Copies of this chain bind each other. A is one copy, B any other.
């Protein structure tokens, strides 16, 4: 019975780094060849990284990506790898004028030193974080090719999430194995939805399916890998690692069967493990892909900054994380000792810069009190972090969580300063859960618990005035997060939320706060998306807006 060994190469490209990305592809093809692979499948747009956003409109960019794809085919041939069919994603010109490109989102098959076939993505997602109707034009033809006695067809990502189009032709085309190139960003629970879709394709069209996803952080998106292979009966044969590069090898037979040839297998992990790893990978890749050596953040002794510091340590190692304790006259004793303890537990760098004298000086000269004096304290901390960043080259992390961002419970140009916001898409109640999970994970592995217990259990406070706690100003976080979930994630209206049993005055207040914080969110740092409705590209709202 004829057999073919197929490799899924789950790589981590950098947007715009054509040479670096193709060097990585070359290494994966070589490794796969050494293990007997006859076909190597990569992710969507692996040549350019993904998403390329409006770079797709730049003719010089698309042309270079196309040329690089052809040059890569030649390089494989010269290296004696030309017998292998390599299937990878890249943009291609569909038209152009005066520097402006009209591009396809393509999958091409490379063999014998050239491009032997190309497929243009049919379904262009234009919802959530995606703007593909803006950036690409659609194709309408399925690509089917024969290789080592098997019939392969290629489709791309969204093509399997929508009905109709080339996917509907998989069966009629006699496809043995469908190759799906993906750039599918992580969201909690999305792994299960992908698996269901892949199984359905196999069952509906009678073909095995190899689903290869990208991995790595790109701005606010985290591609989680987790590539999937199912046989023609829809049974799962293999899954790639989550949050790491991987090479999965599968032997397919001509009866639609498939067997795992080699894979660094992992057992499926729980949601908190996945979220923690998404946040860690998102931060690590932002730092490394943008050429930073280290990060700096304020350590208040509170839960948000402790969790951000722990993520940073897991992402980068303790030497590359710099904490700054910036007490004021309103800082409690525990805020200092908890900050010290966080740094000690994580083994990260820590220094102390009091803001008291700066605050006193501005307050006196500008005659500030109340809110303007509270905001001033946060801004003094922002000035210090940015000064140390400018002086020493660290990326500044801002430690605000999703709940704060929603209701504007932060000082713009104060605690919001920074280039990256590690827990931007993590609501406050989930921050606590993650902290507890990370401590449990540490103790299960015989390691020091990274988050001080006191940072988890004490009532949260901004400490901008005497004896302040967050709940002076905000509803209890359980209630607040529930209302926000109804309003933002589920898009329920005011009346519908009240009908769920919430107090109407609280609901009105929360909706009002969300609305007037829009201008602050618009100026906020990016951070990794982990939910279906992350602030940023998922939710695009007018600032000027009188609807409540």
Q: When A15-B546, A391-B372 are in contact, do A525 and B526 touch as well, CB less than 8 Å? A: no
Q: CB-nearest residue of chain B relative to A391? A: B372
Does A14 belong to the interface (CB within 8 Å)?
yes
**A491 with B100: CB separation less than 8 A:** yes
**A20 with B382: CB separation less than 8 A:** no
Does A540 belong to the interface (CB within 8 Å)?
yes
**A491 with B375: CB separation less than 8 A:** no
Does A466 belong to the interface (CB within 8 Å)?
no
Number of identical protomers: 2
Shortest A289–chain B CB gap in Å is: 5
Report B-chain residues with C-beta under 8 Å of the C-beta of A472: none
Stretch from A51-59, A188-196, A258-266 at the B interface: A51-59
**A55 with B542: CB separation less than 8 A:** yes
Q: How far is the CA of A494 from the CA of B60 in the complex (A)?
A: 8
Specify which of A58, A127, A492, A547 lies most central, judged by the most chain B CB atoms within 10 Å of its CB: A547
Does A366 belong to the interface (CB within 8 Å)?
yes
Does A473 belong to the interface (CB within 8 Å)?
no
**A386 with B391: CB separation less than 8 A:** no
Q: How far is the CA of A367 from the CA of B542 in the complex (A)?
A: 42
Q: How far is the CA of A100 from the CA of B532 in the complex (A)?
A: 14
Stretch from A234-242, A354-362, A429-437 at the B interface: A354-362
Q: How far is the CA of A14 from the CA of B358 in the complex (A)?
A: 42
Does A384 belong to the interface (CB within 8 Å)?
yes
Report B-chain residues with C-beta under 8 Å of the C-beta of A376: 383, 387
**B353 with A366: CB separation less than 8 A:** yes
Q: How far is the CA of A276 from the CA of B60 in the complex (A)?
A: 35
Q: When A366-B387, A390-B371 are in contact, do A543 and B290 touch as well, CB less than 8 Å? A: yes
Q: When A98-B490, A519-B419 are in contact, do A379 and B383 touch as well, CB less than 8 Å? A: yes
**B59 with A493: CB separation less than 8 A:** yes
Q: CB-nearest residue of chain B relative to A536? A: B522
Q: CB-nearest residue of chain B relative to A135? A: B540
**B388 with A366: CB separation less than 8 A:** yes
Q: When A17-B546, A133-B133, A383-B376 are in contact, do A361 and B366 touch as well, CB less than 8 Å? A: no
Among candidates B16, B57, B379, B413, residue contacting A547 with C-beta atoms closer than 8 Å = B16
Shortest A409–chain B CB gap in Å is: 15
Report B-chain residues with C-beta under 8 Å of the C-beta of A522: 526
Does A286 belong to the interface (CB within 8 Å)?
yes
Q: CB-nearest residue of chain B relative to A17? A: B546
Does A131 belong to the interface (CB within 8 Å)?
yes
Does A116 belong to the interface (CB within 8 Å)?
no
Report B-chain residues with C-beta under 8 Å of the C-beta of A99: 490-493, 496
Q: List 6 A-B contacts (CB under 8 A).
A: A15-B545, A60-B496, A99-B490, A357-B361, A361-B361, A362-B387
Q: 9 smallest A-B Cβ distances: which pairs?
A: A60-B493, A16-B547, A372-B390, A17-B546, A16-B546, A372-B391, A99-B491, A16-B545, A99-B492
Known contacts A16-B542, A16-B548; 9 further A-B pairs (Cβ under 8 A) = A15-B547, A55-B541, A131-B131, A285-B544, A286-B544, A290-B544, A379-B386, A380-B383, A522-B526
